[in-house]
Amino acid sequence: MLNQARKEFNIVKGIAPNVSQETLFNNKRKVFLFGSPSYTNIGDQAIAYAEEKFIKNCFPYYEYIEIMDYATEEGIKLVKKIIEADDVVCFTGGGNLGSLYLDIEEDRRKVIESFKDYRTIVFPQSAFFEDTAEGQAEKKKSQDAYNKNPNLTLVARENQTLKILKDTFQANVLYTPDMVLSLSIEPRDLEREGVLFVLRADKEKVTEESFVSDLMNLVGKDNSVERTDTVLSEVEVIDYADRETYFLKTLDKMGSKKLIITDRLHAMIFSIITKTPCLVFGNSYGKAKHSYNDWLHELSFIEYTDNKDLHDIPAIIDRLQKAEPNKIDVKEDFQVLKAFFRG
């Protein structure tokens, strides 16, 4: 069967960029990761990086094979030809399950439906279906697709999503932190200077520009101030080969600052990795807030707030910068995910 697939199929760009083509046709058990991001959101790139490390470090007996998001259709066709009964089909994690990012949701539906006879898992996600006619129509489409797969496991990365997934789908549901928190990265010892604002410019943004401007002026009285986002604008595509470079470059940028102010979940997580004090505001449906409350609230140098009173914020910043960075260990919280792949 494998030799026949090799002859039949022209392997296009984006299929198995992390291994040699011969790997597709060997006799090892395989984990296929669909939805691997080519877009420039470093948070999602970091998730894919962490997923690869997780499988390779914990389960070296699996061959780990990625399919980039732009090769989903061709990837489904190829994997259908070579998949064996004990292989696992995955879809990458993130914050895009639902009606906000329909191109990704449509790909996820296709993958889940296409491999209904195989163990299928969606890595830790935040879920959100808008409470509109359109949002509820998309929810029904996802229910129809997901519920066709009796072998589906969904993983929630906060309690809010755990409830949504259990209430919405018939799948088995697990609960873990975001995959980036499974990484073991020793931060580089960099000289720190200035404050970095890492702020959304997308449909999840709720932080008013007037508040941002006022806060930057306030903080800028005593510090150099810079504004950026975890979605890079200097490149249009990040392929597998460049993922680690851009991710580590982002960590260095954050690790060279005295303070991060953000409304991005992964800017908060990158701050944890680099031991950089971080003040966190919310997005439109609370994924940073809930991740903080569910997993990260014991950290001394990270704080989530809904308080936008400029008189109160300097005291919060002062407290964060004086805190001795502490550690929390969430490694045990990934045991349920390890148990899935051992099964």
The tens digit of pLDDT for each residue in 128-160 reads: 999 999 999 999 999 999 999 999 999 999 999
In this predicted model, which residue has the larger pLDDT, 5 or 82?
82
Q: For 265-293, b where at least 16 C-beta lie within 10 A, e where not — what string? A: bbbbbbbbbbbbbbbbbbbebbbbbbbbe
pLDDT at 8: 64
Confidence band (pLDDT; 50, 70, 90) for 205?
confident
- Least confident window among 71-75, 174-178, 202-206, 292-296: 202-206
Cα–Cα distance, 89 to 29 (Å, whole number): 11
Q: For 52-87, b where at least 16 C-beta lie within 10 A, e where not — what string? A: bbbbeeeeeebbbbbbbbbbbebbbbbbeebbeeeb
Please enumerate, as own/partner, the contacts of 51-58 that have beta carbons within 8 Å and a separation of 24 or more.
51/90, 51/92, 51/93, 51/123, 51/179, 52/18, 53/182, 53/183, 54/179, 54/182, 54/334, 54/337, 55/31, 55/341, 58/338, 58/341
Asked whether the predicted pLDDT for residue 2 surpasses 60, the reply is no
Closest alpha carbon to 137 in 173, 94, 93, 102: 102
Closest alpha carbon to 196 in 160, 225, 239, 165: 225
Q: pTM, whole model, 2 decimals?
A: 0.96
Express as a percent the part of the chain with pLDDT over 90.
90
Asked whether the predicted pLDDT for residue 162 surpasses 80, the reply is yes
Asked whether the predicted pLDDT for residue 252 surpasses 90, the reply is yes
Asked whether the predicted pLDDT for residue 7 surpasses 60, the reply is no
Q: What is the mean pLDDT of residues 160-167?
A: 97
H or E stretch including 333?
none
pLDDT at 5: 53
Q: Sign of the CA dihedral 84, 174, 124, 325?
A: negative
pLDDT in tens, 306-318: 999 999 999 999 9
pLDDT at 249: 96
pLDDT at 6: 55
* Token digits of residue 225: 């101030």
pLDDT at 139: 98
pLDDT at 3: 57
